[in-house]
Amino acid sequence: MGIVNVTPDSFADGGRYLDPDVACARARALAAEGADLVDVGAESTRPDAAPVSAAEELDRVMPVLERLLPEPPCLVSIDTQKPAVAEAALRLGAHMVNDVTGLAGGPALARVCARHGAALALCHMQGTPRTMQMAPRYADLLGEIRSHLARAVAEAEAAGVAPDAICVDPGIGFGKTVEHNLTLLRRLDALRPLGKPVLVGPSRKRFIGAILDLGAEDRLEGTLAASTVAVMTGAQILRVHDVEAVRRAVRVAEAIRDAADQ
Ligand code: HH2
């Protein structure tokens, strides 16, 4: 899953794809690099990001989708928590909704997906972007995330989303310390009982910067290491900025994982 942020303030690529033609070209380039899916978002969810109104989100994202969806180069997902934005995007032909809150806003978003026969990614977040990194705390990290996602999955299915159109995401960086993120990437297998494909988004995130003491623009190698581990521990979908590099790393990791014992 390649990332296209149509935002002024995203942590890694804020401001680069505000022009709809540039954003659309970026989505096509990511597909050409091998993305099966591009995730287009217009509200940053980085720590302390300011919330964006539905009108503003639509103003940013619709011109991109209007250019992209008549001839999509791959599947297209809309990264939003707002039913009105999801509705507009799915009407234009988007295939999936990526909800970083895991239906924290209630089942309306899932109903929109159900009505359009769209897929839904459900992510775990503790708190909101404004508060999530203040003091993230868990009594049982893996258990709490699994049960939060299980509740969201049940809610989505009750709203009519097809069971085989739902994936789950532990939410790297969403109300997590560095150690929480590392544990999650090592233990993605803990989400297997949910019976859904696991999506994970480690790309260029702050935990990599904390380990390597590097800014977002210098986190490619860290992203490759995290992506490789994620594939070994149970991820089926990786949400990344650097599609070609991650695909190459992951293909080697998968070959090693799947090689028969000699
Ligand atoms: N991370 C970000 C945004 N959306 N969606 C899912 N399912 N999983 C993630 O880990 C995830 C996500 C944050 O990354 P990015 O889009 O690069 O930055 P920003 O939120 O600042 O736009």
DSSP notation for 183-245: HHHHTGGGGGGG-S-BEE--TT-HHHHHHHT--GGG-HHHHHHHHHHHHHHT-SEE-BS-HHH
CB 57 within 8 A of CB 85: yes
pLDDT bucket at 135, cuts 50 / 70 / 90: confident
pTM value? 0.96
Read off the pLDDT of residues 162-191 as tens digits, 9 standing for 90 and up.
999 999 999 999 999 999 999 999 999 999
Read off the pLDDT of residues 85-124 as tens digits, 9 standing for 90 and up.
999 999 999 999 999 999 999 999 999 999 999 999 999 9
Q: Check 205, 206, 219, 247 and give the catalytic one.
A: 205
CB 227 within 8 A of CB 250: yes
Pick the atom of ligand 1 nearest to 202's CA.
10
Mean of per-residue pLDDT scores for the chain: 96
- Pocket test of ligand 1: the residue of 9, 181, 239 to mutate, having most ligand atoms within 8 Å of its CB, is 239
**Residue of 224, 220, 221, 222 lying closest to 208 (CA atoms):** 222
Read off the pLDDT of residues 5-26 as tens digits, 9 standing for 90 and up.
999 988 888 889 999 999 999 9
